[in-house]
């Protein structure tokens, strides 16, 4: 299937065994770094996903805006290290000379979605955004760099890795729907149907 320029998809990059291992790591990480429910800037409307982070910087959103910060907004603790298995995915696929600084962990319960948005809170826009899907399949939509353009639908399944880079780095994208009950994995933590890890380089490497 032809993908828009700058969009790469490695289907089944993590096999079932690797997915299970990663899920084990994430369950332990989330026990100490619990998911929080972000709210929209200004309106304060809650997101339908809950989130946590790993890495020196974590992405958060609340009434004061979107930003990266070094600590969990509720526990006040620094984020834990990004799991090695996740860093290996970046090393193999990102083609970027520096490691990611943020691993955003999105947890989708049945019925959760993510509206169309751009990932643009990073200074290092020359680095790709890499995303790893685990659990139930999701209907992902990707458009161009304006909100009004046509969108392509992609089914993201457990073990898939997607990259947005170059001309697609600022493409609008979102998750229309999670197909509850399609996960090949045993129970995900915190009642999630799907977990997505989004790896980003935030600051320009020196
Ligand atoms: O869950 C996904 O597949 C996408 C997540 C995403 O776009 C984000 O966290 O910025
Ligand atoms: Mn995004």
Q: Is 169 in the pocket of ligand 1 (CB under 6 A)?
A: no
Mean pLDDT on 182-199: 97
Distance CA 46, CA 156 (A): 24
CA angle 123, 169, 142 (to 5 degrees): 140
pLDDT digits (tens, 9 = 90+) for 70-116: 999 999 999 999 999 999 999 999 999 999 999 999 999 999 999 99
CA 28, CA 107: separation in Å to the nearest integer? 15
Q: In this predicted structure, what is the pLDDT of residue 1?
A: 63
- Site to probe by mutation for ligand 1, drawn from 130, 175, 178 as the one with most ligand atoms within 8 Å of Cβ, is 175
Mutate to test the pocket of ligand 1, among 10, 47, 49, 106 (most ligand atoms within 8 A of CB): 106
Strand intervals (E) in the chain: 7-10, 50-54, 58-62, 65-69, 102-108, 114-117, 129-135, 138-142, 152-156, 161-164, 173-178, 194-200
* pLDDT (average), residues 135-155: 96
* Nearest residue to 51 via CA among 90, 79, 93, 86: 79
Q: Which domains does the chain have, with CATH numbers?
A: 7-200 (2.60.120.590)
| Cα(1)–Cα(13) distance, integer angstroms | 17
Poorest-pLDDT segment among 5-9, 53-57, 99-103, 149-153: 149-153
Q: How confident is the model at residue 12 (pLDDT cuts 50, 70, 90)?
A: very high
The protein residues having their C-beta less than 5 angstroms from ligand 2 (an ion) are: 119
């Amino acid at each position: 299937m032809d993908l828009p320029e700058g969009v790469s998809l490695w289907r089944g990059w993590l096999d079932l065994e690797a997915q299970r291992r990663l899920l084990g790591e994430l369950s332990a990480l989330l026990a100490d770094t619990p998911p929080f429910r972000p709210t929209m800037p200004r309106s304060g409307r809650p997101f339908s996903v809950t989130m946590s982070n790993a890495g020196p910087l974590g992405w958060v959103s609340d009434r004061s805006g979107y930003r990266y910060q070094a600590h969990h907004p509720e526990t006040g603790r620094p984020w834990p290290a990004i799991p090695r298995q996740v860093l290996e995915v970046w090393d193999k696929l990102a083609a970027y000379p520096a490691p990611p600084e943020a691993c955003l962990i999105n947890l989708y319960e049945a019925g959760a979605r993510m509206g169309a948005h751009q990932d643009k809170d990073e200074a290092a826009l020359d680095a790709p955004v890499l995303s790893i899907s685990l659990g139930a399949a999701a209907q992902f939509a990707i458009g161009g760099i304006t909100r009004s353009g046509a969108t392509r639908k992609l089914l993201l399944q457990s073990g898939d890795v997607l990259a947005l880079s170059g001309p697609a780095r600022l493409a609008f994208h979102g998750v229309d729907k999670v197909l509850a009950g399609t996960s090949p994995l045993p129970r995900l933590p915190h009642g999630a149907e799907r977990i997505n890890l989004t790896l980003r380089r935030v600051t320009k490497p020196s």
